[in-house]
Amino acid sequence: MVLPNASEDLSTEMEVDAFRRLFPLRYYECHLVESIRPDGRALARARDTTIALGAVASASGSALVKIGSTTMLAAIKMEVMTPTMESPDEGCIAIDFHMPPICSPIVRPGRPAEVAPVVSKQLSDTISSSGMVDLKELSLVSGKAAWMAFLDIYCLDADGAVFDAALLSATAALSHLQIPAVSMNDDGKIVLMSEEDGERLAQEPVNKEKRKLALRSIPFSLTCILYKNYILADPTAEEESIMETQVTIVLDSSSQLISFYKPGGSVLAYTPAIQDCVALTRQRVKELQSILDEANSAMEVE
């Protein structure tokens, strides 16, 4: 541990950058006392967030999301599967989260990041339990064919709040998803309908037009760091590495709690702190909802 006395003595004569590296915790505490963070944000403020839809031309739905410099690219590829016996008229969404070596100095080829499978699981759980997508909508021919939506999320730049950005990109990609028009041919295989053979009656169209999913309550999340009595919303990678206790809250558009993660950490979360986090998340949900709506309406204009 850093000796507080030693750092205090040195702080007056040391360069800021060196101080930041040598005594990161002291450095942050100096800021927190003033209710500001090193990047100029207030404690409860999230970073600037942008959503660009349709970034991947070869996918049916895609989104590029940036929260500060954390960048996520999500894309959906639609494939056809035979539905299971238990649920013959339901499709399926397979969510996979990847952290390729480009995104962070910690990840190296052949040694995947430890957090990637964890985030992957959290995303699947959140999206399936939120009831955002009605899997019946992904059905094509009951018992014969249904859509399998492969939702792959790539982290291009990891700078904290990875789960928040991943979830936002996943929901944005789902809201952008256009289900292609298909029909079933004589062999019972699903084929794409091109525009010129729309009138050919030999084939029975299963899904006549391109359509979007009717999304119900959309989940949004906010990660906060708990440190002493401070709550820092939307942490950067540096903040996450220094202050360990994190709380992630997922709420849907009508502010109902979907999930809550607090994976350990040295700070115990008391009820008031959690209530504060939920309040922050509620605000953030409104913000994100309007950003997502804006991105979607921009797409429609085009």
Partner 1 sequence: MAGKAATTSTTYSPSPTTLKTKAPIFNEDWVRPDGRGFHQCRPAFFRTGAVNAASGSAYAEFGNTKVIVSVFGPRESKKAMMYSDIGRLNCNVSFTTFSTPLRGQGLDNKEYTAMLHKALEGSIMLETFPKTTVDVFALVLESGGSDLPVVISCASLALADAGIMMYDLIASVSVSCLGKNLVIDPILEEESSQDGSLMITCMPSRYEITQLTVTGDWSTPKINEGMQLCLDACAKLAKIMRSCLKEAALGSQE
Per CB under 8 A, residues contacting partner 1 are 56-59, 62, 69, 71, 73, 75-82, 96, 98, 100-105, 108-110, 148, 150, 152, 154, 156-159, 180, 182-183, 185, 189-194, 196-197, 203, 237
Smallest gap from Cβ 49 to partner 1, in A, equals: 15
Smallest gap from Cβ 247 to partner 1, in A, equals: 23
- When the beta carbons of 58 and 297 are compared against partner 1, the nearer one is 58
Smallest gap from Cβ 203 to partner 1, in A, equals: 7
The CA angle 143-144-150, to the nearest 5 degrees, is 100
Largest CA distance in the chain: 85
- When the beta carbons of 188 and 264 are compared against partner 1, the nearer one is 188
- When the beta carbons of 50 and 185 are compared against partner 1, the nearer one is 185
Smallest gap from Cβ 110 to partner 1, in A, equals: 8
Of 220, 168, 216, the residue nearest 50 (C-alpha): 168
Provide the 3-class DSSP secondary structure of residue 289.
helix
CA-CA distance, 280 to 235, in Å (whole number)? Answer: 13
Smallest gap from Cβ 59 to partner 1, in A, equals: 5
Tell me the CA distances in angstroms from 237 to 39, 157, 158, 160, one per residue in order. 12, 10, 7, 4
β-bridge partners, 186: none
CA-CA distance, 280 to 290, in Å (whole number)? Answer: 16
| DSSP codes, 185-209 | -TTS-EEEPPSGGGS-TTSEEEE-S
- When the beta carbons of 22 and 94 are compared against partner 1, the nearer one is 94
Smallest gap from Cβ 236 to partner 1, in A, equals: 10
Q: Which residues contact 115 (CB under 8 A, 6 or more apart)?
A: 99, 162
- When the beta carbons of 32 and 99 are compared against partner 1, the nearer one is 99
Rg (CA), the chain: 23
- When the beta carbons of 33 and 192 are compared against partner 1, the nearer one is 192
- When the beta carbons of 109 and 264 are compared against partner 1, the nearer one is 109
Phi, psi of 211 (to 5 degrees): -145, 165
Provide the 3-class DSSP secondary structure of residue 30.
helix
Smallest gap from Cβ 93 to partner 1, in A, equals: 12
- Crossing angle of the two packed helices 115-130 and 162-176, in degrees rounded to 10: 50
CA-CA distance, 117 to 265, in Å (whole number)? Answer: 20
